[in-house]
Structure 1
């Protein structure tokens, strides 16, 4: 009398091909990931580590290099007033740009809801500045706001003479923020718009039946359901805001004086104009620490307000 094989117990002959298949799938996955991983190591992680090392050296482009310890950091913190101005300028830009970006992007995303006609065209038009070269956009804005530009002609028709917003620190920073908003709000608008599309319409219908008005539905349904998109946009927008460079570099050159010089502009000047790579790397390390700290705080605080359900 022969015994039937136990049902569900795979034999060694059946398991071996599956192990080979899984191994091949793993090798294929590593192969596809290898170009991205190598690019990250060579162009991202490698330069970060290199910059951190150079920050502890006196590292001229040409000349003798020597170990400096913490001297570069002590110098920028205690004997470099321009560094603190650039920190203040960067923080001012972040405080102005990020909330305005969110208000504009979220407002337009709610406006081009699924009920509006031509929403695809609006999405394209609002997102178009985000994919155009930032230097080209900054050059166009510079032509518009210079003393003999289009804005000056418009101001002259209203009796405003000698219109030159780039001539004052407040006006120059306002132009940098305005140009950055025009350049960048479309990305967040698209993120928020996609998040709004994922909210079930039944939630709004149930809330309306319970007597909730439009404002209550926005606060009780839209914002909580949109919180993952808001969190993602907040992390990315803050990181890019602290790294602002092209807008003030092209529009104002960091002026007037150092009124719009940001931290990235300052490390560029120290490293590639004054050829002091040690100080430039110290500034870059401080900026990296600020961004890492703020990003860590955002990730730790997301548990209290981000809803993934």
Structure 2
């Protein structure tokens, strides 16, 4: 039997053409529109500058002479013969390690103490968090006056019969001073993150542990730390990446001195590019910094299977 046809001769037994704007395509378009601002921002302010920095690292750019010369891998070879780079990496490692250990330890301690339900505890939370919202440059300038030879810190020590040091001009104390200033500035941020994580730990677990006679230290080690491990991973990544990007504190407090004792990689990059006008070499150092941050972040993310309790 022949298939039915319309008066115009069209076949009604074939499937009806599917509309172009299906529900799936509308949902996909909505999703793309939502992520478009972020994607455009990352492309313009991250990906394109990163490609340009890599391009600049293959050139020697003399701004004063208006000369832009292709040098290939010459800047990368110069890294291997740079006499100051080893000291810069050492100062960067000391600063990052000291900052991460002190910041996270103090933040977790403060969070545990401030998680108690005591009268006026909100005031102390505000006091410890307030440095986070203070201007970084203003905070650093105030500390530069406090840490001078005749500054406020030494004046306080004299009251107790102690003689202070010239904290920012002594190679032994300069790095410690910079680390402490940075810890006091940002410890409140990690404290708030830890405090939020602690409030999410079920109280029933602590009550059951107390009934079983578990000591407070074991409760902290066996209950608190595992359950806030996602926040520990997050804060460690944020703190480590932030420690590798510190610039304003070094520039205001020590200018990389005494000698090169506080010259971290970011400040050394700035010196090479904007003080010595070696923009090609400065771009090469930027690539090195990017690789270091990417590798450390990747390693930490892979360690989540050992750190985060629900990833095990």
TM-score by length of 1: 0.89
Q: What is residue 167 of structure 2 aligned with on the other side?
A: 165
**Match of residue 248 from structure 1:** 250
Distance in 2, Cα, partners of 1:120 & 1:144: 28
Structure 1 residue 266 and structure 2 residue 271: aligned? Answer: no
Cα 1:102–1:50 shift into 2, 3 Å? same
Structure index of larger Rg: 2
The alpha carbon displacement at 1:121 in A equals: 2.7
1:75 & 1:303 partners in 2: Cα distance? 39
Match of 1:77 among 76, 80, 83: 80
Match of 2:3 in 1: none
**Worse-matched range after superposition: 112-121 or 251-260:** 112-121
Q: Counterpart of 1:218? A: 220
Q: Is 1:58–1:68's contact at 8 Å kept on the other side of the alignment? A: yes
Matched, 1:131 2:133: yes
CA contact (8 A) 2:250 2:263 kept: yes
Q: Which residue of 2 aligns with 1:234?
A: 236
Instruction: Report how far residue 103 of structure 1 moved.
Output: 0.9
Mean Cα deviation higher: 52-61 or 84-93: 52-61
Partners of 2:248 and 2:261 lie apart in 1 by 15
* Gap change, CA 1:125 and 1:161, over 3 Å in 2: closer
CA deviations on 1:228-276 (whole Å, 9 max, x unpaired) are 0000000110000111111111111111122111110111111111221
In 2: Cα distance, 1:33 partner to 1:121 partner: 39
| Equivalent position of 1:113 in the other structure | 115
Task: Calculate the aligned-residue CA RMSD, in Å.
Answer: 2.2
CA shift, 1:116, in A, is 2.9
Structure 2: 5+ residue stretches without partners: 1-14
Paired with 1:157 and 1:125, the residues of 2 have a C-alpha distance of 25
TM-score (norm 2): 0.88
2:309 is paired with a residue whose SS is: coil
Measured in 1, the distance between the counterparts of 2:159 and 2:215 equals: 45
Displacement of 1:27 in angstroms is 3.4
Q: How many residues align?
A: 295
Q: Which residue of 1 aligns with 2:304?
A: 302
- What's the counterpart of residue 145 of structure 2? 143
Residues of 2 paired with 1:95 and 1:285: CA distance?
Answer: 21
What residue in structure 2 maps to residue 5 of structure 1? none
Does structure 1 retain, via aligned residues, the 8 Å contact 2:233–2:307? no
CA distance in 2, matches of 1:113, 1:224: 17
Shift of 1:213: 1.3
Decide whether the 8 Å contact of 1:114 with 1:197 is kept in 2. no
Where do 5+ consecutive residues of structure 1 fail to align? Answer: 1-11
Q: Matches of 1:280 and 1:111 in 2, distance apart?
A: 44
Task: State which of 68, 71, 82 in structure 2 corresponds to 1:65.
Answer: 68
- 1:281 is matched with 283
Alignment partner, residue 103 of structure 1: 105
Cα distance in structure 2, aligned partners of 1:76 and 1:269: 15
CA contact under 8 A between 2:169 and 2:254: conserved in structure 1? no
Asked whether the 8 Å contact 1:155–1:163 carries over to 2, the reply is no
Equivalent position SS for 1:167: coil
Give the helix-richer structure, 1 or 2: 1
What's 1:37 paired with? Answer: 39
* Cα distance in 1, alignment partners of residues 207 and 289 from structure 2: 47
